A and B are shown apart, each in its own frame.
Chain A
Amino acid sequence: MANVSDSELIARLVAGDEEAFGRLVAEHGPAARRLARLVLRDPNDADDAVQDGLLAAWRAIARFDPRRPFRPWLMRIVLNAARDLRRRRMIRETQPLGGHEASRDATPDRQAGRALLRARLAEALATLPERARVAVTLFDAEGYSHGEIAELLDVPEGTVRSDVFHARRNLRVLLAPFLEEVG
């Protein structure tokens, strides 16, 4: 099927085309899953939260304003679902992101240096407040604008800029030995 815009898929979904829902999940699912992992730090919990969020968005799609961008709207729902699941499961904030679970899931061909980098990145992310983790990831990894992130997190744009700056600075300090290799 040819590339179809979000607005076209949403119109189809509202009209009852369930295939359109699958297309939207395929398109936005990876970013949603990464976002949920930032909050929940456990891949299985994160996928549960993303599924909850996607189904909530599916049921609420008729209330979505098509004049606004779809992705921030969807990500906000996913973020709320992840935070809600975290509250329900009482996941401890101090558990390092991508800890034992990530190592257990690593494929055998991963090199030792890469595993070390992942471990260091997990530790570095764990030092950041959740909002800063989300902000820097959405900005640097997902390509969101400061304004989109501000709307998603419901904070002023200046706060997002500050969060991104501080998070990026901390990550660069903690990952300095690796950045020259991968950069």
Chain B
Amino acid sequence: MTHDSFDYRPDPTIGRLLRDHLGVEDHDAFVTRVRDAARQGGRRGRPGSLPEWELLARWFRPGIAAAAAIFVGALVGISQGERGGSIVSLAEALGPAEAPAELLAVDTQPDPQVLLSRILEGP
């Protein structure tokens, strides 16, 4: 026997014994099984498909942008709602006859002195 344990080359005898011992049967069937599993798994993940965190990262920026747009829209809506609310309240307070169109048509705060004089003057 020419091979010893110190040899840096593969031991052909040990190698053959190990290959025989660990020998795999029905490899064609195994290949078919793995390919079938890959096809079924392909619905969930294609070759080279991204890990979940990368997928989530792709959604992150559009998600932030959408949330920001909704937030800005909500702020504008609230602002306009408050402004509109004050105008409606003013119109209700003055009544139809007491609310001059020039006052209600503008979106700036009315001059209190003008309002007071209109109320004091009466219809």
Contact = CB atoms under 8 A, between A and B. Distances in A.
A141 B49 contact: no
A30 B74 CA distance: 62
A59 B49 contact: yes
B47 A165 contact: no
Given A29-B34, A51-B33, A140 B24 contact: no
Contacts of B22: 33-34, 37-38, 98, 137, 141
A171 B42 CA distance: 43
Interface in B4-19: 5-6, 8, 10-19
* Chain A interface residue number, banded: 35 or more
Contact of B34 (A25, A37, A60): A25
A16 B13 contact: no
A30 B24 contact: yes
A59 B31 contact: no
Chain B interface mostly: helix
Contacts of A34: 18-19, 22-24
Interface string B54-75: 0000000000000000000000
Contact of B47 (A33, A59, A183): A59
B34 A168 contact: no
Interface string A142-183: 010010000000000000010001001101100100011011
Nearest to B41: A55
A84 interface: no
A168 B47 contact: no
Q: Which 5 A-B pairs have the closest CB atoms?
A: A62-B48, A140-B15, A141-B18, A34-B22, A169-B5
Given A18-B35, A47-B30, A168-B14, 17 more contacts: A18-B42, A18-B47, A21-B47, A22-B35, A29-B31, A33-B22, A51-B34, A58-B47, A60-B48, A62-B48, A125-B21, A137-B18, A141-B15, A141-B19, A146-B8, A175-B17, A180-B1
